[in-house]
């Protein structure tokens, strides 16, 4: 069984993430979306909230599960008996850091492959941080994040309230 992990912070999930998850779900038997538990990162949503948002947006994909992890990503993959890490590449600017992580993960666990999917053109400019900045300053983020995430962001920033 080919099991892939799509790791990330997902604070919150965007349509760019969802695009990668949806495409991965067609390539692998099972896809585990893994939210990093990282207490040092200043996040808007708690781990539980991020997991819940992902669960409701990924419910449409039968072979996609959502979980969280701490520690090394490769240890989470071993625990789940997964052999593939799937990451989205938006632009050349993503490449250097992603390449470094892929090579380090491959050094630590040679049996695990990192697969990069090019983000769809229409989502290539989206990032969770930019979404938060735009909504905080009153901009329109519709079509850039799943409806559930948009609702939560609107509540969080008390827009129109
Ligand atoms: O959405 P992000 O913040 O770009 O995701 C980064 C993530 C979670 C993929 C990365 O930080 C990670 O894998 N962290 C787990 C710790 C780890 O394994 N570090 C060594 C990676 S080479």
Return the bridge partners of 7, or none: 34
Q: Which atom of ligand 1 is nearest to the CA of 85?
A: 9
Scanning the structure block, which residue is given the tokens 């593939």? 84
Closest residue by Cα to atom 6, ligand 1, is 8
Query: The pTM is what?
Result: 0.95
Report the pLDDT value the prediction gives residue 114, as an integer from 0 to 100.
98
122: DSSP letter: G
Whether the per-residue pLDDT at 60 is higher than 70: the answer is yes
Report the pLDDT value the prediction gives residue 87, as an integer from 0 to 100.
97
41: DSSP letter: S
Closest residue by Cα to atom 10, ligand 1, is 8
Q: Mean of the per-residue pLDDT values for the chain?
A: 95
pLDDT tens column, 98-152: 999 999 999 999 999 999 999 999 999 999 999 999 999 999 999 999 999 999 9
The rounded Å distance from CA 83 to ligand 1 centre is: 16
Report the pLDDT value the prediction gives residue 82, as an integer from 0 to 100.
98
Beta carbon of 88 within 6 Å of any ligand 1 atom: no
- As its CATH architecture, domain 3-124 has 3-Layer(aba) Sandwich (3.40)
Residue 56 CB coordination number (10 Å): 15
What percent of the chain is modeled with pLDDT above 90? 91
Scanning the structure block, which residue is given the tokens 């890490």? 85
Q: Which of 4, 5, 9, 97 to mutate to test the pocket of ligand 1 (most atoms within 8 A of CB)?
A: 9
**Domain coordinates of the chain in residue numbers?**
3-124
């Amino acid at each position: 069984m080919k099991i892939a992990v799509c790791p990330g912070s997902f604070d919150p999930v965007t349509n760019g993430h969802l695009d990668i998850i949806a495409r991965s779900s067609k390539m692998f038997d099972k896809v585990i979306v893994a939210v990093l538990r990282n207490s040092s990162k200043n996040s808007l949503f708690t781990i539980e909230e991020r997991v819940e948002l992902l669960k409701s947006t990924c419910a449409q994909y039968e072979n996609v599960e959502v979980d969280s992890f701490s520690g090394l990503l490769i240890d989470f993959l071993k625990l789940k008996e997964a052999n593939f890490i799937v990451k989205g590449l938006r632009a050349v600017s993503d490449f250097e850091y992603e390449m470094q992580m892929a090579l380090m993960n491959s050094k630590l666990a040679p049996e695990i492959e990192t697969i990069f999917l090019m983000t769809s053109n229409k989502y290539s400019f989206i990032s969770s941080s930019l979404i938060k900045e735009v909504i905080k300053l009153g901009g329109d983020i519709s079509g850039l994040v799943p409806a559930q995430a948009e609702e939560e962001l609107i509540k969080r920033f008390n827009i129109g309230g």
